[in-house]
Structure 1
Amino acid sequence: MTQTELKEFLDSKVDQYNNRDFINEDPVQIPHLFTKKEDIEIAGFLAATISWGKRPMIVKNCLQMMDLLENTPYDFVINHTENDLEKLSDFKHRTFNGIDFQFFILSLKNIYLKHGGLENVFSKGIDNNSLQPAIHQFKKVFFEISHPIRTTKHVSDPLKGSAAKRINMFLRWMVRQDKLGVDLGIWKTISPAHLSCPLDVHTGNVGRKLGFINRKQNDAKALLELDRSLRKLDPVDPVKYDFALFGLGIFESF
């Protein structure tokens, strides 16, 4: 395919998958449960954090998370008591457990009270039109308070080689201006042009078959290759192609 033909093909796949039907089986449905900005971003961050494994189990455990937060994530974060935190102790999703969940609540409280919230933290770290340095800075802020060492593995760092798939997915949800009802686009201080595609096994495999990625590992260097390719196709909204790559991989076995 020529570059023009490839763009037309992928644009058609974006049109096919970037619609509200996508929400039904995807963890992006979790932040859609809320209307308050802070509830949306906290729910989205927690849902993205545990988004690995089979999607039905992810969604089930995300809903359990929201139930434990009494379906008022921001109020719980800001006003929780020690007894409230104790109720989170039995939560488990794969290697993310109650200890991790409790710390996430404590750190989010610190971020909202001391740093102006999640959007403010991420918006300060953008460098060279990329949010990957911002993710690195976010991790430093997230763990600036006393924390369990085990929990640090649940926040990725692109500057240490990670593709940071789950955080990039969360950022896509918060930043991308999607008029079709999937991504929420509630953050106005960050441009969608700075987003990176959430790189997982599906997007990685399809990206390689299409010639976007040469590197074998799904790591930060592979993500940079993918970013460069997708930004050539659409410099304004490059991560819209996440829908195309993911859909081709998981639904069409491309």
Structure 2
Amino acid sequence: MKKSELKSFLEFKAEQYNTPEFIATDPVQIPHQFSRKEDIEIAGFLTATIAWGNRKSILNNANKLMDLLERSPYDFVMNHSEGDLEKMANFVHRTFNGLDLQYFIKALQNIYLKHSGIEHIFTKYAEEESLQPAIHQFKQIFFELPHLFRTEKHVSDPLKNSAAKRINMYLRWMVRNDNSGVDFGLWKDIKPSQLSCPLDVHSGNVARKLNLLKRKANDAKALRELDKALRIMDPEDPVKYDFALFGLGVFEKY
């Protein structure tokens, strides 16, 4: 496929999947249950954190999470008691358990109290070409409170060669304004051009079949390679092609 044909093909597929109908099949439906900015941020972050494995299980457990947060994520994070945290002890999604969740609630409270919120951290540390260094800084801040070492694995670090799929997906939700109602476009001081594609087994396999990616591992080096290819096709909104790559992989078994 010629480069011009590939771009047209991916544009078509991105438009096909970047629609309101996509929401019903995707974890992004969880933050869409809320209208307050901070509720969307927190619901989105916690949902993205557990967004791996069976999609039905992800959605079921993300909804359980929102129930534990009493359907008011920001109010719960800011005003919870120790007794409220104890109710979370039995939560589990794969390797993310109640102890991890209890720390995540404390860390989010600390971020809103001491660091002006999640958006402020990413805006402060964003680089012109990439948000990957900002993800690293976010992780440092997120774990500045006393915590179990095991919990650190649930926030990826691109500077340790992780593709950071889930947090890049979360950033897409918060930053992109796609005019279709899927991504929220809440964070106005970060540009879509700074985003990176959420690279996972599905998008990676499709990208390789389309010769957008040669590296075999889905790691930070592969992400940089894919980002470079997607930014050539659309420097302003490269991660719109995530809809195409993901849709082709998951829904069409391309």
Separation (CA, whole Å) in 2 of partners of 1:218 and 1:230? 16
Separation (CA, whole Å) in 2 of partners of 1:31 and 1:247? 20
Q: Which residue of 2 aligns with 1:235?
A: 235
Structure 1, residues 176-199: CA drift from partner, whole Å, max 9, x if none?
Answer: 011101111111110010000000
Is it true that 1:20 corresponds to 2:20 in the alignment? yes
Separation (CA, whole Å) in 2 of partners of 1:139 and 1:253? 34
Which stretches of structure 1, 4 residues or longer, exceed 3 Å deviation after superposition?
Answer: none
Q: TM-score, normalised by structure 2?
A: 0.99
Q: Which residue of 2 aligns with 1:176?
A: 176
Q: Which residue of 2 aligns with 1:38?
A: 38
Tell me, yes or no, if the aligned pair for 1:28 and 1:182 is still in contact at 8 Å. Answer: yes
SS at match of 1:60: helix
Structure 1, residues 1-54: CA drift from partner, whole Å, max 9, x if none?
Answer: 221111100000011100011111210000100000000000000000000001
2:164 aligned partner, one-letter code: A
Tell me, yes or no, if the aligned pair for 1:126 and 1:133 is still in contact at 8 Å. Answer: yes
Q: Which residue of 2 aligns with 1:214?
A: 214
Tell me, yes or no, if the aligned pair for 1:136 and 1:158 is still in contact at 8 Å. Answer: yes
Cα deviation for residue 127 of structure 1 reads 2.3
Separation (CA, whole Å) in 1 of partners of 2:15 and 2:162? 29
Q: Which residue of 1 aligns with 2:68?
A: 68
SS at match of 1:24: helix
1:34 aligned partner, one-letter code: F
SS at match of 2:145: coil
Q: Which residue of 2 aligns with 1:245?
A: 245
Is it true that 1:185 corresponds to 2:185 in the alignment? yes
Cα deviation for residue 128 of structure 1 reads 4.5
Tell me, yes or no, if the aligned pair for 1:30 and 1:44 is still in contact at 8 Å. Answer: yes
Tell me, yes or no, if the aligned pair for 1:10 and 1:241 is still in contact at 8 Å. Answer: yes
1:98 aligned partner, one-letter code: G
Separation (CA, whole Å) in 2 of partners of 1:15 and 1:231? 17
Separation (CA, whole Å) in 2 of partners of 1:121 and 1:146? 20
Could you list the runs of 5+ residues in structure 2 that have no partner in the other structure? Answer: none
1:63 aligned partner, one-letter code: N
Q: Percentage identity across aligned positions?
A: 66
Separation (CA, whole Å) in 2 of partners of 1:226 and 1:238? 10
Separation (CA, whole Å) in 1 of partners of 2:212 and 2:124? 29
Structure 1, residues 204-230: CA drift from partner, whole Å, max 9, x if none?
Answer: 000111111111100000000000000
Q: Which residue of 1 aligns with 2:161?
A: 161
SS at match of 1:205: helix
Separation (CA, whole Å) in 1 of partners of 2:21 and 2:126? 32
Q: Which residue of 2 aligns with 1:80?
A: 80
Cα deviation for residue 133 of structure 1 reads 0.3
Separation (CA, whole Å) in 2 of partners of 1:84 and 1:78? 12
Could you list the runs of 5+ residues in structure 1 that have no partner in the other structure? Answer: none
Separation (CA, whole Å) in 1 of partners of 2:95 and 2:105? 17
SS at match of 2:35: coil
Q: TM-score, normalised by structure 1?
A: 0.99
Q: Which residue of 1 aligns with 2:149?
A: 149
